Amino acid sequence: MKKASLKNKQLGMTFIEVLVALFILVTGVLGAVAMQATVKKGSFDAMQRSLASALAQDIIERMRSNDATTLAGYMKTNYGVALDAVPAKRCNTVASICTPAEMVINDTYEWEAELMGANVTQGTVKAGGLVGGRACISNVLNAITVVVSWQGRVDISDSKKANSCGSAGNKRRQVIVEAFIN
């Protein structure tokens, strides 16, 4: 008789065991959700860094394809503050041949529009570009320095050595690209 009563007690799981199993399962699911949120933030920051790097390379290639005597026209320390007016002469078709000086105006306008996300809109709101994107271009004896700054999603320590381009703060990120142009 004792064996039969012990056997009946051993069947199934107790309510406490079920609660413990549910607690472990819920903890695992919540951990996975938190990890997904962290990955999404990291992915966005990586996309912003990639865009900043591509923008820096883009303006350097634009400068290289133009006449070297026009480099001074590209130098500016406040790209991204306000988009300049659309150039009177657009250099975007075969029919519109531009002088090197007109090309500088067109290049800087198009590049700043990409930096600010003005070429991608959702309704009337700019939806592309960098978050708080700013850029500075300097030239010392044809050694070009392009600094692209933007605002990241989380705080980090702003480098004391960081370039003064963009708004200083713990969310500022920068890509600095240096090149030599003949």
What residues in the chain have per-residue pLDDT under 70? 1-12, 158-163
What is the pLDDT at residue 38?
Answer: 83
Q: Determine the Cα–Cα distance for residues 147 and 64; give it in Å rounded to an integer.
A: 17
What is the pLDDT at residue 164?
Answer: 78
Name the 3-class secondary structure at 169.
coil
What is the pLDDT at residue 112?
Answer: 93
Distances (CA, A) of 25 to 17, 33, 37, 123, 129: 12, 13, 19, 43, 41
What is the distance in angstroms between the CA of the first residue and the CA of the last residue of the chain? 100
What is the pLDDT at residue 83?
Answer: 85
What is the pLDDT at residue 13?
Answer: 72
Q: Would the pTM of this model clear 0.95, i.e. be above it?
A: no
What is the pLDDT at residue 63?
Answer: 94
Name the 3-class secondary structure at 115.
helix
